[in-house]
């Protein structure tokens, strides 16, 4: 009987600890990464006055990320003049494992496409780990929380990476609209189809 109680207590403690870790991981503190567009460092705190900060982990090598290049550009452009919504792209791949994702290649593509948003390099995966990001493309929406941000949405951009005209659910756009209006996000997590981050 004591053995059963001991196992139950240990299990309960483990559950509480894992739950608290999950809650902590949803709170995102300030971070700084090199911005290949400007050639300077960029910090998340620069967007502290936004209602929604959209962060998309993406890459040059991943075919799924390539499917989304135009969609991401159009989405960012849609909110270009909305001070409540800010976009950030982060390339989290180790260039030793994915030569296409070398910083000079990322910079060349960003400047060629004239996205007008920060494009950051996270070669050590420090920020990807902070978010718990696993794949590219993987999207997050952050909303203000105390002196930092919290993750309000994580997951896919929409429900059809390969055929845009067949998209039925625009998960990321819906999350952005809700967050920017300080409304609850109905679908706050979705399954991602993409490529594993190269570590």
- Considering the domain boundaries, does residue 4 fall inside one? no
Mean pLDDT, rounded, for 77-104? 92
User: Comparing 12 with 37, which gets the higher pLDDT?
Assistant: 37
**What is the mean pLDDT of the segment spanning 170-190?**
96
**pLDDT at residue 148 is higher than 70:** yes
Q: Is residue 13 part of a domain?
A: no
| In-domain check, residue 22 | no
Mean pLDDT value across residues 154-164 = 97
Residue 7 counted as domain residue: no
At residue 10, the pLDDT reads: 42
Give residue 138's domain range.
Answer: 30-196
Nearest CA among 32, 68, 25 for reference residue 47: 32
Is 146 within a domain?
Answer: yes
- Tell me, what's the pLDDT at 114? 80
Residue 79 confidence (pLDDT):
95
Mean pLDDT for 15-23 is: 35
Which pLDDT belongs to residue 35? 95
Confidence grade of residue 19 (pLDDT, cut at 50, 70, 90)? very low
**Would you say residue 10 lies in a domain?**
no
Residue 189 maps to a domain: yes
Give the CATH number for residue 155.
3.40.30.10
For the residues 146-157, what does the mean pLDDT come to? 95
Q: Which of 125, 131, 58 is nearest to 96 (CA)?
A: 125
The CA distance from 57 to 132, in Å, is: 11
pLDDT level of residue 113 (50, 70, 90 thresholds): confident
Q: What is the pLDDT of residue 18?
A: 34
Percent of the chain with pLDDT over 90: 73
What is the rounded average pLDDT of the residues 64-69? Answer: 95
pTM for the full model?
0.85
Q: Tens digit of pLDDT for each residue in 23-59? A: 334 899 999 999 999 999 999 999 999 999 999 999 9
pLDDT given at position 26:
86
Total domains present in the chain: 1
């Amino acid at each position: 009987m004591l053995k059963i109680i001991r196992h139950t207590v240990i299990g309960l403690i483990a559950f509480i600890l894992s739950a608290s870790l999950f809650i902590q991981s949803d709170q995102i503190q300030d971070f700084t990464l090199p911005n290949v567009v400007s050639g300077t460092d960029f910090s998340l705190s620069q967007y502290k006055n936004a209602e929604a900060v959209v962060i998309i982990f993406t890459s040059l090598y991943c075919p799924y990320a390539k499917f989304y290049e135009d969609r991401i550009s159009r989405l960012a452009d849609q909110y270009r003049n909305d001070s409540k919504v800010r976009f950030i792209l982060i390339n989290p791949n180790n260039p030793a494992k994915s030569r296409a994702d070398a910083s000079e290649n990322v910079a060349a593509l960003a400047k060629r496409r004239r996205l007008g948003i920060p494009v950051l390099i996270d070669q050590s995966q420090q920020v990807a780990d902070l978010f718990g990001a696993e794949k590219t493309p993987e999207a997050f929406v952050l909303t203000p929380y105390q002196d930092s941000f919290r993750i309000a949405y994580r997951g896919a951009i929409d429900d059809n990476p390969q055929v845009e005209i067949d998209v039925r659910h625009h998960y990321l756009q819906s999350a952005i609209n809700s967050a920017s209006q300080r409304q609850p996000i109905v679908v706050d997590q979705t399954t991602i189809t993409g490529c594993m981050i190269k570590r």
